Amino acid sequence: MAENVKPRIRVPNNAKRGEVIEIKTLVSHPMESGQRKNAQGQTIPRKIINRMSVTYNGKPVFEAKLEPAISANPYISFFIKATESGELAFAWTDDDGSVYKATQQITVS
């Protein structure tokens, strides 16, 4: 588990039904590509977040496969249609299997 991984999420608190809203996410992670070498010439093992998935009241709404070329602290934003009040659940999967999770409430009027 990478140290001090804290996902940050911005979701509008209130949205009108049917409105298309932007979700911004940022997770602090070194995203070590596996291509770099340390001072001793040894390869630094790859360690990235390889998958991100988002569910909206349990239904998947966004899924991304992340590759080693993505820079540290990946910032991902996407749009969804606000259909109902509820919970957005975010999950980032690390190469080592650990999953970083976060949730955010949204009120749709």
Partner 1 sequence: MARYRKILVVASTILAAGLAACSEEKPTSTADSGDPLAQYRANPKYAEFMSGEKMSGYVFASPETQAMQDDDFENPGMLAVQDGEAEWNRVEGAAGKSCASCHGDAAQSMKGVAVTYPKFEPKRGKLASIEHRINICRTEHMQAPELKWESKPLLGLTAYVEYQSRGMPINVKIDGPAAPFFEKGKEFYETRRGQMDVSCAHCHVHNAGRNMGVENLSQGQSNGYPTYRLKWQSFGSLHRRFEGCNQEVRAATYPRGSDEYTNLELYVAWRGNGLKSEAPSVRR
- Distance of alpha carbon 9 from alpha carbon 99, whole angstroms: 16
Residue pointed to by tokens 């608190």: 13
Residue pointed to by tokens 């911005």: 10
- Give least dist CB 8 to partner 1, A: 7
Closer to partner 1 at the Cβ: 59 or 101?
Answer: 101
Closer to partner 1 at the Cβ: 3 or 96?
Answer: 3
E strand spans, the chain: 7-10, 14-15, 20-27, 49-56, 59-65, 75-81, 86-94, 99-108
- Give least dist CB 69 to partner 1, A: 15
- Give least dist CB 24 to partner 1, A: 6
Closer to partner 1 at the Cβ: 68 or 83?
Answer: 68
Nearest Cα neighbor of 88 from 45, 50, 59 is 59
- Give least dist CB 72 to partner 1, A: 9
Binding site for partner 1 (CB under 8 A): 4, 6, 8, 10, 24, 26, 28, 73, 75
Closer to partner 1 at the Cβ: 4 or 13?
Answer: 4
- Distance of alpha carbon 88 from alpha carbon 84, whole angstroms: 11
